[in-house]
């Protein structure tokens, strides 16, 4: 009996010791887990939008991740970023850091106004901007985005092919047309067009129109307020004639050639010229690092000085739902540093919006000289997407040339109808740009 009592009382302290040990070990485990979490790096997502520069951003991210242990950035790329980002926003999965295209002004403003982006006014990041850009970035009194660079449209020319044939870079439209005829007589492809990707169509038209006639902002304004309809604008009609005329010097059935294939054709020396924007530079050099090329404004008629219009290109923003905004700011400070930005601009062929951020851009010397002298116009007007869709589909029909009843006049009539449906928004946009922006 006494033995059983002793065993009972002996068991209770022993059980208490075991329980204490379990509790102690649990506490130690939790402390170790907390310590481990405190040493684990903060993980942030970086959503990339522009496919031409994806490999450049990925290299920047890799160097940043290797330079420290506290923050790890992982890039996100998807086939259709415009639609995908909207879905992520609706599902509450907005990326921590996001790259957007500033020319898609309608969607950029929507994300800012919808509360998806964090204001950057108090971060100190705006101090890295060159003068003159901040007014264009303000939405409802705050700045939500940092532009990395501006883009400009023009004509890529293969210098090796020119020199081998004894030709020179054309300096006027007359010289360009004569050169195109010579190349055609040689039985070679003078130009390549990526018409299968309809988003490229207006860019070529922009390159032709702006150098001689200026910004289409006024054309949209006059069409929206009824001063002069698009179909009555002789400058638009003339620029379209020139733009379509160029296609007789390009490949047959150009609508079957996409952007990537066109880049390969030019980079491989199969075409002498490529009417595009400076953003194609990185893709061309990626495929052929040794290519010798020059990028010039589309040549104007003799005696005319080409105008230079630029648009904000890649912009970066931080999600308002980012759980680690300080870490996001640390990464952006790294990306906006002079060393990183010089490497970025040199590889992308873009002109920096960040102080001290320009690398070697000698391939586009004529543009750079004008930009450095502030002899350019920054265009920020965002036309509603529905108008853009009518424009792009209409340009595609013109290029197909399969409808005898659809020509330049009919195209401009369609554009007028689309503008009429959204005229108040267009006039508000023009008014907003006039109150914010200025000619550089």
What integer pLDDT is reported at residue 10 of this predicted model? 44
Nearest CA to 50 out of 98, 84, 101, 89 is that of: 101
CA dihedral sign, ordered 276, 281, 282, 287: positive
Distance CA 308, CA 370 (A): 8
Query: Residues 337, 67: contact at Cβ < 8 Å?
Result: no
pLDDT in tens, the chain (440 residues): 444 444 444 444 555 554 455 455 555 555 555 555 557 999 999 999 988 899 999 999 999 999 999 999 999 999 988 889 999 999 999 999 999 987 665 577 889 989 999 999 999 999 999 988 888 888 889 999 999 999 999 999 999 999 999 999 999 999 999 999 999 999 999 999 999 999 899 889 988 988 877 777 888 889 999 999 999 999 899 999 999 999 999 999 999 999 999 999 999 999 999 999 999 999 999 999 999 999 999 998 876 778 888 888 999 999 999 999 999 999 999 999 999 999 999 999 999 999 999 999 999 999 999 999 888 888 877 778 889 899 999 999 999 998 999 999 999 999 999 999 998 888 877 665 544 434 44
Distances (CA, A) of 166 to 5, 87, 171, 247: 113, 54, 16, 24
What integer pLDDT is reported at residue 31 of this predicted model? 59
Distance CA 99, CA 140 (A): 21
Query: Residues 190, 246: contact at Cβ < 8 Å?
Result: no
Collapsing DSSP states into helix, strand and coil, what is residue 269?
Answer: coil
What integer pLDDT is reported at residue 358 of this predicted model? 95
Distance CA 108, CA 289 (A): 34
Work out whether strand 97-101 and strand 42-47 pair parallel, antiparallel, or are unpaired. parallel
List, in order of start, the domains of the chain with CATH numbers.
42-150+312-366 (3.40.190.10), 153-307+385-421 (3.40.190.10)
Which residues have C-beta within 8 Å of that of residue 235, sequence separation ≥ 6?
209, 212, 213, 219
DSSP bridge partners of 230: none
């Amino acid at each position: 009996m006494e033995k059983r009592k002793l065993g009972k009382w002996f068991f209770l302290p022993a059980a208490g010791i075991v329980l204490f040990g379990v509790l102690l070990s649990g506490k130690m485990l939790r402390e170790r887990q907390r310590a481990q979490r405190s040493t684990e790096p903060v993980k942030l997502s970086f959503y990339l939008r522009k496919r031409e520069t994806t490999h450049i951003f990925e290299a920047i991210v890799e160097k940043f991740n290797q330079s420290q242990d506290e923050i790890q950035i992982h890039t996100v790329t998807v086939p259709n970023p415009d639609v995908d980002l909207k879905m992520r926003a609706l599902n509450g999965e907005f990326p921590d850091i996001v790259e957007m295209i500033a020319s898609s002004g309608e969607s950029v403003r929507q994300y800012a106004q919808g509360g998806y982006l964090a204001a950057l006014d108090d971060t100190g990041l705006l101090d890295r901007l060159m003068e003159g850009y901040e007014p264009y970035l303000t939405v409802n009194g705050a700045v939500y985005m940092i532009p990395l660079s501006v883009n400009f449209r023009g004509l890529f020319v293969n210098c090796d092919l020119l020199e081998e044939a004894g030709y020179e870079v054309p300096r006027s439209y007359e010289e360009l047309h004569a050169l195109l005829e010579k190349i055609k007589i040689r039985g070679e492809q003078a130009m390549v067009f990526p018409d299968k990707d309809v988003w490229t169509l207006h860019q070529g038209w922009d390159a032709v129109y702006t150098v001689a006639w200026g910004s289409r902002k006024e054309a949209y304004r006059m069409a929206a307020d009824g001063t002069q309809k698009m179909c009555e604008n002789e400058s638009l009609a003339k620029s379209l004639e020139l733009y379509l005329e160029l296609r007789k010097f390009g490949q047959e059935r150009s609508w079957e050639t996409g952007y990537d294939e066109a880049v390969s054709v030019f980079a491989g020396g199969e075409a002498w010229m490529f009417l595009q924007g400076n953003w194609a530079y990185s893709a061309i050099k990626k495929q052929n690092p040794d290519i010798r090329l020059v990028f010039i404004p589309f040549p104007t008629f003799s005696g005319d000085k080409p105008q230079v219009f630029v648009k904000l290109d890649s912009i970066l923003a931080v999600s308002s739902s980012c759980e680690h905004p300080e870490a996001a700011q640390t990464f952006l400070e790294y990306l906006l540093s002079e060393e990183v930005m010089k490497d970025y601009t040199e590889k992308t062929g873009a002109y920096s919006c960040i102080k001290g951020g320009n690398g070697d851009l000698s391939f586009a010397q004529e543009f750079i000289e004008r930009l450095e002298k502030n002899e350019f116009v920054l265009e920020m007007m965002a036309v509603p997407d529905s108008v853009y869709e009518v424009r792009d589909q209409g340009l595609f029909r013109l290029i197909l040339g399969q409808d005898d009843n659809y020509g330049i006049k009919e195209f401009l009539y369609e554009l007028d109808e689309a503008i009429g449906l959204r005229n108040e928004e267009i006039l508000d946009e023009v008014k907003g740009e006039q109150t914010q922006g200025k000619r550089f």
